[in-house]
Amino acid sequence: MQTLRPKVTPEFTRQHFERLEEERLALFASKSARAARPRGPATPMSGDARTEYARDRDRIIHSRAFRRLKHKTQVFIPYEGDHFRTRLTHTIEVSQIARSGARALGLNEDLTEAIALGHDLGHTPFGHSGERILDRLLRESHPRAGGFKHNYQSVRVVDRLEKRYDEPGLNLTHDVREGILKHTVWKRAFPFPLDFPEGLRFESGGTLESQLVNWSDEIAQQTHDLEDGLPLAEEEAIEALEISRVVRQARAPGNDRAARRGSLIRGMIGVLSADLVESSRGRIEAWLESQGVATTDDFYARRDSLPGDLVAFSDRGRRFYRELKDFVYRHVIHSFPVSRNDGHARRVIAGVFKAYRENPRLLPDYVLLGLHDEIGVRFLLSPRGLSQGRRRGGRRELHAPPRVLPRHRRPHRRHDRQLLQRRVQGAGGMNKSTGRRE
């Protein structure tokens, strides 16, 4: 008689991983089984064992906006050196620091990683200089269209501008969308069009995962900006920083100059990350006790109004961070090699913005099709007409369709002009050709 052998490999399903979250994560961690999406739940294929947050992470990684990050400057222009960070490598480093912190605190690593990978999807070329220029251009060209901030634009990218499904956007969970918005300064009254503001929980300081990504972004930014800009500062001045002295006391600097510098940067990340985890653990436990939170249900009942400082440095860690940030801004961000690119950024972004604004037919085809579907402007073609467009110089030229649109769909309406300016801003600030111009 043949005996049945037990399965060597257990069957792992989405429900299995959701149960593991309930069993292994802290009660104050976000649980993927409770996540919701603005356009309704996703429909997984047979055999898909991913949780909701893991699916969001994958959607971000496979998006066009994520690939565009490789062209965008962090601080130094990438073509000036082989090893300078770009917006893409920065994003990967933020994800690593944030995931390590999430594991130490018992938070949801998949949600943390998804927020970290998506937090800069809407960033401009040329770093924050590009962001300020695009905000000014948008406000001056059409004040009713609003302003520009990269965290709001990142939400717009995942909600509307990405196109991989029948509906616009990636349909990410509200928790990931909220984390993307709140990874930096935000306020409800900022003049920017958001498709699903109700899911962003403006009354809350953000999930603990989003707060962790916020500070992980700062740790990664200050340490790798310092590493990229090491030639701009005296080594003695760097070693004189309080955090540098703490690092040198904890680990041997090494004999080789490159190893000595690498040891210092690693040590700074380690000191700041450890302080953030330990301080946050104490803050969270104190808040749970003050609120009488003893179960996951208790936590979720208060989750829409969380304080925004539950994940934060201690006084000592904050002192380290502020001294390091002041040093980086004084010696790197405001240095001549970096500041001289601000003028270049203004010329490039202003020129592209002006060209798109004066002749919207220069916009990429997918942007034109989106405008045609939304407001039916006359200079756009239907998808059939698009395929019949002439090509000049290797580029498709679009012509106005012969038919006349109904009056209520013509582009002279104030709302349509605002939308057109917003689309010009999006393309002018984020497309690949602009990145190549850097």
Q: Are 309 and 283 in contact (CB under 8 A)?
A: yes
d(CA 396, CA 120) in angstroms, rounded, equals 30
292 is written with which tokens? Answer: 């009488």
pLDDT at 33 over 60: yes
Lowest mean pLDDT among 122-126, 362-366, 423-427: 423-427
Dist. CA 252–CA 263, nearest whole Å: 8
- As a whole number, the mean pLDDT across the chain is 83
Alpha-carbon torsion (78, 85, 433, 379), positive or negative: negative
3-state secondary structure (DSSP) of residue 163: strand
The residue among 319, 343, 367 that closes a domain is 343
Weakest-pLDDT range from 185-189, 279-283, 311-315, 382-386: 382-386
Contacts of 116 (CB under 8 A, 6+ apart): 91, 94, 95, 98, 99, 213, 216, 217
CATH classification of the domain holding 216: 1.10.3210.10
Residue 271 tokens read as 């000191």
Assigned domain for 28 exists: no
- 191 is a domain residue: yes
36-86 pLDDT per residue, tens: 999 988 888 888 999 999 999 999 999 999 999 988 777 766 666 667 888
pLDDT number for residue 387: 42
Same domain, 198 and 304: yes
**Is 182 found in the same domain as 307?**
yes
Q: Determine contact, residues 311/283, Cβ cutoff 8 Å.
A: yes
Which residue shows structure tokens 């998804």? 114
- What is the C-alpha separation between 183 and 59, in angstroms, rounded? 19
pLDDT of residue 310: 97
Burial of 358 (0-12, 13-18, 19+ CB in 10 A): exposed
- Averaged over 95-109, what is the pLDDT? 98
Nearest to 247 by CA among 224, 271, 219: 271
In a domain, 288, yes or no: yes
Residue 404 pLDDT > 50, yes or no?
no
3-state SS track over 364-401? CHHHHHHHHHHHCCCCCCCHHHHHCCEEECCEEECCCC
| Residues 308, 218 share a domain | yes
Q: Is residue 12 part of a domain?
A: no
Do 225 and 353 share a domain, yes or no?
no
Same domain as 240, residue 139? yes
Residues 353 and 431 in one domain: yes
* Residue 226 reports pLDDT greater than 70: yes
Q: Is 400 a member of any domain?
A: yes
Q: Provide DSSP, 115-134.
A: HHHHTTTTPPTTHHHHHHHH
- For residues 161 and 154, what is the distance between their CA atoms, to the nearest angstrom? 10
Model pLDDT, residue 397: 42
Is 65 found in the same domain as 169? Answer: yes
pLDDT of residue 320: 97
Residues 323 and 359 in one domain: no
Q: Are residues 130 and 263 in the same domain?
A: yes
| 399 falls within a domain | yes
Tell if the pTM clears 0.75, that is, is over it: yes
Q: What is the count of structural domains for the chain?
A: 2
In a domain, 349, yes or no: yes
Which pLDDT does position 262 carry in this prediction?
87
- Model pLDDT for residues 117-168, shown as the tens digit of each residue: 999 999 888 878 888 888 888 888 887 778 888 898 899 999 988 888 888 8
Q: Examine the fold and report which residue of 343, 377, 407 is the final residue of a domain before the chain moves on.
A: 343
283 and 261 co-located in one domain = yes
Length of the chain: 438
- pLDDT confidence bin for 4, thresholds 50/70/90: low
Q: Which of 183, 213, 225 is nearest to 89 (CA)?
A: 225
How far is the C-alpha of 416 from the C-alpha of 231, rounded, in Å? 49
Is residue 272 located within the same domain as residue 143?
A: yes
Domain range holding 290?
50-343
Mean pLDDT of 87-116: 97
Q: How many CB atoms lie within 10 A of CB 372?
A: 20
